[in-house]
Structure 1
Amino acid sequence: MSGRAGRRGKDERGIVVLVIDERMSPSTAKEIVKGKADPLNSAFKLTYNMVLNLLRVEGINPEFMLERSFYQFQHFSSIPALYDKLKSCEQQYESIKIENEEEVARYYKLRKKLELVQDQIAVMMNEPKYLLPFLQPGRLVTVKSGDLNFDWCVVLNFHKKPGEKPIYIIDVLAHLTLESAAQKLTVEIQPCPLSERGELKAIPIQHILIREISAVRVYLPDDLRTKEARQGILKAVQDIIRRHPCGLPLLDPVRDMGIKSNDMTSYIKQYSILQTRIDEHPLTKSPQLKTIYEQYERKANIEKQVIDAKNELKKAQSLLQIGDLKRHKRVLRRLGYCNSADVIDLKGRVACEIDTGDELVTTELLFNGVFNDLTVSQACALLSCFVFQEKANEMPKLLPELSVPLHLLQETARRVARVSIESKIEMDEERYVDGFKPFMMDVVKAWVDGQSFANICKMTTIFEGSIVRCMRRLEELLRQMCCAAKAIGNSELEAKFTEGTQKIKRDIVFAASLYL
């Protein structure tokens, strides 16, 4: 580990000592010394405080700021590369010529619709209450994981994964390529068709990845650790496939598995209709069907890349986050922070003073007079909900003097959330309200009332460092609340927040260094 080697502007070169051991590979060491620096990407985020401060300044507007931000600059700089990517995709698309393309396109769309219906049927079949009774050892199933389609696999056993959602892990014998079968990790496994040379290997899968369930089971020997035993199972599966040239018999979802819902009946009917149309299609009996289908599928994928490249280019050429800005302005107008001409009112000027906590909810609390009837310690405790963002094990048992202000805070947050949702901002109301965490309210009140740091640490299971961090952020928010109270001309409220700042800023919490 080292800092900058040499002083910029004074030293021509510097010396860095890299201490490593034999556990570091040469390629990793080379990457540390000669590798490229991490890319610098803008993390620009639009906030209400930023919008209000820009509206307050004459001769400038939020649109002007968005257009000249580093975030926008990075996207403008990517336009040449996106244009080259689009041109390359279009050339690839035009280079693929398919005879009788309209018929091939009809057949391709029918196959894709059939796959979608199969996916819907598989989702219902994979419900544990229907699936688990048929996962006996030796059952043949097909597995689909993303773009990987596994041929017939052999079920070994299954067990439930601990957690809230009912997820079952199934161990199956899958036919893999020789390269992936030799690897110890199952991260980069590659399936291999049973007709090609490969090796059976036991891998774990989730129950939701099962695609088809066969009515056929194979005999499993007692010991599968030897390669000869697995090879015997492979030959048995291949023999079963040879005896069923039209495909292995599958379990019927309604008759065999007992899924008698209306949705399943509808999906089976759709599947039957689509399968009939595919069987009647003239390409079905063509000896070149596989080659033509793969060629058109490749062209369809390139067409999708062309559409994606056009969308990326259009997004890069447009002014980013302009939609978010319009929605933010709509919220501000509906809550009375600015008028239809984007001129900020008194509430807007007050919200400009606050950026440590949620500026909208704090301003609403100020104008609703919530802080007027609170003591200094109660006001500080309530404001702690805006700055504490960490997790806690249990909810504190708050006295009425704290639970009533907390209820007012939550009701105000719900109103702001509803206005935001009505303004087309994607937001979860309950999650937004839960973001104001009251786990430090009793601790902050005790600290403002003069208790020692040792005593307040005994009141909660929150780490001492988290308590200190919350207190420091709370002191910053209190200073901003003083400025906000001054902006509305409320001297009593300003004095209350000033007193809170003085009472909270003491002792080890605000020590310049713990070593002093």
Structure 2
Amino acid sequence: MRRRYPDIGKKVSKLEQEAATLAASGEAEVADYHKLRLDIAQLEKKMMTEITRPERVLYFLNPGRLVKVREDGTDWGWGVVGNVVKKPPAGLGTLPSALYSSCGGGYIVDTSLRCSPGSNENRSWPKPCPPHPGEKGEMHVVPVQSPLIPALSKLRISIPPDLRPLEARQSILLALQELGTRSPQGIPKLNPVKDMGIEDSEFVELVNQIEELEQKLFAHPLHKSQDEHQLRCFQRKVELQKFRDELKNRSRVLKKLGHIDADGVVQLKGRAACFIDTGDEHLVTELMFNGTFNDLYHHQIAALASCFIPVDKSSKQIHLRTELAKPLQQLQDSARRIAEIQHECKLDVNVDEYVELTVRPYLMDVIYCWSKGATFAEVIQMTDTFEGSIIHSARRLDEFLNQLHAAAHAVGEADLETKFVAASESLQRVIMFANSLYL
């Protein structure tokens, strides 16, 4: 566990020092202001789910349109639209274009945003980020996914045809600053009801709630004073509290699963989990200690272990033989139990999603047959997964089995050691593990 969170102590100490600078006398006022901002952000996220539907938003994403950009907890403020391009979904290159919309294709909005200045020695720009307090900032064109736009303005400005020169981009920054000066109550936004014609009753109520909260925000003393230092300190304090809560909840999970005792001392399960880098270490060690692996022979173990290897979801229906169906069911039951424990311990886990994402049985039959001596020509007929992906997955599976062997050795499970070694050796044949596929 220590390897996974190597800087926890440093991060906690740093956050505690920063949070300590917040004056207790003003904490209630800052907390109220911070809550207003969070509430508005959450409601805007719900609202934009409806607004950013392509048939509604594309009409308004004209060049020069002012848009607000927010990425997770990072507020970029207002930017200016330059261009909008269609983003086809990954992995759907063979599908007809008519199916893109039903498969989640999105749009990328090239947006001029105020960024922190600077580049590295190779003159290649790092990942853009908003300017730090006190920095003047430079305008750069940043590709923004449409869901990261929580608001559109009524305003549009004229933008230079060529945004490559810095002077051209800085002219946009000056225009934004001028508009900000002229709008003390904030840049006017497009009203989704009046301007965009969305008249659903629930949506109208949502818009009214946001407007009401924004009025409270603008009237708040801290909004007028713009004491950013005090706000940042409070946000750090909130971050520290969330971090502490998460650590506490994760500790409860480890105790319930038997990885640590009541005093936080690492137990046998925890020692085994430290050797697992592939797959969910909680689930893997659960299978080791609940007897699932003990009841299987090495071909079944190889097949079951393949469920932990990331692989593209197959569109071909899976037909598992009888000797694999029961182990898979045990794996899914164990995954569900672990997810439920995490949920009970107040971790943000969706049980069904956890099971689906953690257990990937798409190559079970392929690996089982390969382990038992089937030819490569035979196993590639059993799935629509690409041959290269099968080979890559088999090699990663071999690494995973070596981790399982090391974990079993660490806890003194000699029988399991033997099975994991045998499972690994059964995979290492001809093309799957050839040094070069061209030989």
- Taking structure 1 as the reference length, the TM-score comes to 0.52
Query: How far apart are residue 463 of structure 1 and its match?
Result: 3.3
Within a 5 Å distance, the mapping from 1:314-329 to structure 2 comes to 321=251, 323-327=253-257
Q: Percent of aligned pairs with the same residue?
A: 23
CA distance in 1, matches of 2:360, 2:209: 44
CA distance in 1, matches of 2:332, 2:145: 39
> Match for residue 156 of structure 1?
82
> Match for residue 441 of structure 1?
368
> Match for residue 131 of structure 1?
57
Using a 3 Å threshold, how does the CA distance of structure 1 residues 417 and 436 change in structure 2: closer, same or farther?
Answer: farther
Query: How far apart are residue 278 of structure 1 and its match?
Result: 4.9
- From the CA coordinates, give the structure whose radius of gyration is larger: 1
> Match for residue 185 of structure 1?
125
Within a 5 Å distance, the mapping from 1:337-376 to structure 2 comes to 358-359=287-288, 363=292, 366=295
Within a 5 Å distance, the mapping from 1:208-357 to structure 2 comes to 208-226=147-165, 229-230=168-169, 246-278=185-217, 283=221, 290-291=224-225, 293-294=227-228, 296-301=230-235, 303-304=237-238, 307=241, 311=244, 321=251, 323-327=253-257
> Match for residue 278 of structure 2?
none
The partner residue of 2:302 within 364, 384, 390 is 384
The partner residue of 2:391 within 454, 459, 463 is 463
The partner residue of 2:328 within 404, 410, 415 is 410
Matched-pair contact (CA < 8 Å) for 2:37–2:217: yes
Please list the CA deviations of residues 157-216 of structure 1 after superposition, one character each: whole Å capped at 9, or x if unmatched: 1112232543322112234466579975151444499xx966543232222222321222
> Match for residue 348 of structure 1?
none
Instruction: Name the amino acid aligned to 2:323.
Output: P
Query: How far apart are residue 291 of structure 1 and its match?
Result: 3.7
Matched-pair contact (CA < 8 Å) for 2:109–2:144: yes
CA distance in 2, matches of 1:272, 1:293: 23
> Match for residue 110 of structure 2?
171
Length, aligned pairs only = 365
Please list the CA deviations of residues 323-366 of structure 1 after superposition, one character each: whole Å capped at 9, or x if unmatched: 4343459xxxxxxxxxxxxxxxxxxxxxxxxx999447864994
Instruction: Name the amino acid aligned to 1:442.
Output: C
Using a 3 Å threshold, how does the CA distance of structure 1 residues 297 and 163 change in structure 2: closer, same or farther?
Answer: same
CA distance in 1, matches of 2:249, 2:166: 61
Instruction: Name the amino acid aligned to 1:166.
Output: G
C-alpha RMSD of matched pairs (Å)? 5.7
> Match for residue 142 of structure 2?
203
Please list the CA deviations of residues 432-484 of structure 1 after superposition, one character each: whole Å capped at 9, or x if unmatched: 5535842222223335xxxxxxx45774434399479759969x99xx9xxx9
Are positions 1:92 and 2:31 aligned together? no
SS in 1 for 2:371: helix
CA distance in 1, matches of 2:182, 2:43: 28
Using a 3 Å threshold, how does the CA distance of structure 1 residues 458 and 185 change in structure 2: closer, same or farther?
Answer: same
Matched-pair contact (CA < 8 Å) for 1:111–1:278: yes
Using a 3 Å threshold, how does the CA distance of structure 1 residues 297 and 424 change in structure 2: closer, same or farther?
Answer: closer
Within a 5 Å distance, the mapping from 1:33-52 to structure 2 comes to 42-43=2-3
SS in 2 for 1:260: coil
CA distance in 2, matches of 1:251, 1:364: 59
Matched-pair contact (CA < 8 Å) for 2:81–2:110: yes
